[in-house]
A = this chain, B = another copy of it.
Amino acid sequence: MKREEAIKRLGEIDREFVLLSHIGGVLVWDQESVPSAGAQERAQQLGLLDRKMHDLSASEEMGEILAQLGAAEGREEGEDSLDERTRGMVRQYFRAWNRERKLDADFVQEFSETTNQAHHIWAAARKNNDFSLYEPVLSRIVELVQRKAGAFGFKDDPYDPLLDVFEPGTSTAEVEQLFREMQGDLMGIMDRMREAGPVDDTFLYSSYAQDKQSAFGHEVLDAMGFDWNRGVCGISTHPYTISLGADDIRITTRFTEPSVISPLFSSIHEGGHALYEMGASNEVTRGTCLANGASLAFHESQSRLWENMIGRSRAFWVRFFPRLNELFPIQLEYVDVDKFLAAVNVVKPSEIRVDADEVTYGLHIILRFELERELLSGNLPVSDLPGAWNDGMEKLLGVRPKSDRVGVLQDVHWSMGELGYFPTYALGNLYGAQILHTMNREIDVDAVVATGDFSPVRMWLDQHILRHGSLYKPKDLLRKVTGEPLDAKYFREYLSNKYLGSL
């Protein structure tokens, strides 16, 4: 195979891979939005797509293409003489090939079908608050994940190859170190906030009309620069963002009566993800595997930067509170911007991760990180998981869940076989704070936010992060943007300024 032919074939295979991946997106979106009895076959459909994607990336031909372009262990991006775009694609496929060829196609399909069915079993177990329904399939999943980690291979820790799928180039030891530091920071702030006494946030839980909540969310997404010509916003139980095509990026929000916070902040959060997907698909990357975020932590840095660092800032609410007040004059009759701001930033250890505040959120993640490692090593049998969960919650957050439904059954991820995923959420907070610190050196973020038109912020993010898609390794991109490696101190400083200074 000649070099030109290899580049051409890589492009063709990539195109097919991306189409299959977007087709999978349609299947997932439909599954989430249309209640139907087709779950079992839908799992088989998704299994078939996964198998086809596996076949494409694990093929002998792919091995030849990558060899022809000079990719090898330690030189994932291939020859220096390749252009940047091709090097990015070579890196992506070398990583995938190097992983996928170690799994046989039957394993891939079994993994996919098991996890797709487990999704529905998990949902039923959660609904019925009955972990025993979920235990058998979760045990099976842990076993499959152990086999996967073994097949991928590792030097230090079986968690390494799993984490690397979601956060390329980051080791378990690095996460452990970052999380140890973060745990101290978070528990310290949490204790200080507890001493400060309770905050009145009851007014957030009165009844707010959905159509007005939608309208407000829409206005905020407008201000962020969400492109309605390329995006759709739907409704689901769990908000998420998904790409069904280069110009078909969908987010959902949720309405959990009675609360005005959840739909609003989930719109901003998913809006942050959507801006990334929209920016990552441009003239250089469009339709390729590069039209994606640099990593999950990078993706999460964007959603959390928008949701928390901007969406819960004083500058934001000085601008938007009057509008909210106009929409909900009765509910907010005795509320001013200070009171509102205090309420949406209340720090309160609780059972549910997705409802957690910025401070306690990371502790929820540390719990999952620790439990995943124990499950993986075999030290923790799945049957003991609910107890270990509750003990961990008590130790880290001082809260013991009242039931498994609000304890070990709350998250979907394990049912999807996605061990190694959770750490990226907390890493996203660390990335986000470091990026915000850099951005603040160049533009006055608060001043921009206060205008109600966030374009300068979005354009800065686009120029420095979004438009690069996954052209670069996440660690390289972070260094390119901020000039240094990941450092937990920026998140500590951000939180200290916010919570221990004045809001």
Contacts and interface: CB of A to CB of B under 8 A. Distances in A.
Interface of A: 16, 19-20, 22-23, 26-27, 29-30, 34-38, 40-42, 44-45, 48-49, 52, 229-230, 232, 234, 244-248, 250, 287
What 8 A-B pairs come out closest when comparing CB atoms? A38-B248, A38-B245, A41-B245, A37-B247, A36-B248, A19-B48, A23-B45, A26-B30
A34 B232 contact: yes
Contacts of A27: 23, 26
Given A16-B48, A36-B232, A229-B37, A248 B26 contact: no
Contact of A246 (B20, B23, B35, B41): B41
A23 B234 CA distance: 21
Contacts of A30: 26, 29-30, 244
A49 B229 CA distance: 26
A38 B22 CA distance: 11
A244 B36 contact: yes
Given A19-B45, A35-B232, A38-B247, 18 more contacts: A19-B41, A19-B44, A22-B41, A22-B45, A23-B27, A23-B48, A26-B45, A29-B34, A34-B232, A34-B250, A37-B229, A37-B248, A38-B244, A38-B245, A38-B248, A41-B245, A41-B247, A41-B248
A248 B48 CA distance: 18
Nearest to A244: B38
Most-contacted residue by chain B among A16, A36, A38, A234 (CB, 10 A): A38
20 contacts: A19-B41, A19-B45, A22-B45, A23-B23, A26-B45, A29-B30, A34-B234, A36-B232, A36-B244, A36-B245, A36-B248, A36-B250, A37-B229, A37-B248, A38-B245, A41-B245, A41-B247, A41-B287, A45-B245, A52-B52
Contacts of A20: 48
A53 to B, nearest CB: 12
